Amino acid sequence: MTLERTLEIEHETHHDIMAMVKAMAEQAPEHGGLVHYGATSQDINDSVLALQLRECRDALLESCREVRAELTKLAAEHRDTVCIGRTHGQHAIPVTMGFKFANHLYELSEAQTYLERVKLLGKFHGAVGTFASLGGSDDVKRLVMEELALEAAPITTQVVTRLHLADFAFALSAITAALERLCKEIRNLARNEVGEMMEGFGAKQVGSSTMPQKRNPHKSERICGLARVVRAQLQPLMETVALEHERDLTNSSLERVVLPTGIVLAHYTLIESRNLLRKLVVLPEGVERNLRAGNGRQVAERIMMALADKLGRQEAHEILRTTASADDFEAALRAHDKVSGALTGEEITLLLDPTTYVGRAPTLVDEIVAAYGVEGAPAAAAAASASATA
């Protein structure tokens, strides 16, 4: 049996499975008439697709673990690196860099579980799923599924429900969405006016063809862009759930495009994210500069809470809201009669230290690393070496 002969038959029949069946039967003069006996095309297609997706999932999960291993290292390394947190793009209160990485570690870990849970089901149920061509018995189904080490769908039409394929695409979307959020953070913190981290930059690397000074976060940008393409594959797959009656053919051509597209691009973004994180640089001077930039305003909440015990939360909030607009925040606090009546100068100075207002952030890093972290990632060592060389 050759590919050339199979393609020749397909050119005549316009049916891929029937071409394969005929090509096989030609090579088995005695038993060729039993090839595809009792089966329908989707008994073959859906079962093979489940096997293919299982292999793809294994590769995707390994790459997820490799990215999580890098996030684990960064979270532990920067457990106590205090930095400013941001909400709405504005300075909020301090966190730690390790806390940021731990959040990304948790998010990717959760997305990984979505992929792990996807059902990859085979079938050998006959033309419309009733086993009529198999004498009404599911014995062949059980034997085939055992041989393929697949779980059989409990009931099918001519096809296994496409909900499971849509679920696979959703898992890819979740993984790449988590990567996009990570890379968006890197991109924003790499801005010149922020300067808290940057992508690794090779000695001969070029940032711009016309502006020599630039160090564009192009890997992060590429990942963010491709994540959107992966998510775009989910909608077409959702459309294939509502096939007509026991099956029409609108799913077939679509799946041959969107599944490879989503899987290959998701895997690529995982590999790129792993490589990016291995060379990521945290810039301590920028982190410290931004942490102190508020001149104490970044811990206004802390002052408010200290005053709340004595003045009530609402009055304390109003005092901090008004004093925060002063040119010299600390001086405004000290000059306010209600603040000075409630807090000593030494207490105000201690409260204004942003490095001591991170709550349980370091402990949360420890907890997330313990629960979701990945030590090492031995399978990635050779790839890392090859990537560094390239």
User: Which tokens belong to 244?
Assistant: 């007509």
88 given a catalytic annotation: yes
State the residue for tokens 């966190």.
95
Which residues, in sequence order, are CB contacts of 102 under 8 Å at separation 6+? Answer: 71, 75, 364, 365, 368, 369
Centroid of chain to Cα 214: 28
The span from the CA of 197 to the CA of 216, in Å, is 12
User: Which tokens belong to 45?
Assistant: 């297609």
Beta-carbon-side half-sphere exposure of residue 336 (alpha carbons within 13 Å)? 23
- Beta bridge partners of residue 91, listed in sequence order: 86
Contact 295, 329 (CB under 8 A): yes
252 given a catalytic annotation: no
3-state DSSP assignment of residue 335: helix
Selecting among 11, 14, 31, 88, the annotated active-site residue is: 88
User: Which tokens belong to 167?
Assistant: 């679920």
The span from the CA of 352 to the CA of 300, in Å, is 8
Selecting among 137, 208, 340, 385, the annotated active-site residue is: 208
**What is the pairing mode between strands 121-122 and 151-152?**
parallel
- C-beta atoms surrounding 242 within 10 Å: 10
The span from the CA of 73 to the CA of 374, in Å, is 9
H helical segments located in the chain:
3-13, 16-26, 41-77, 97-117, 139-148, 163-189, 218-232, 234-239, 250-278, 284-292, 300-311, 313-323, 329-335, 337-342, 345-351, 361-372, 381-389
Contact 275, 387 (CB under 8 A): yes
Centroid of chain to Cα 36: 40
3-state DSSP assignment of residue 89: coil
Which residues, in sequence order, are CB contacts of 83 under 8 Å at separation 6+? Answer: 94, 95, 96, 97, 100, 196, 287, 290, 291
* Active-site residue set: 88, 208
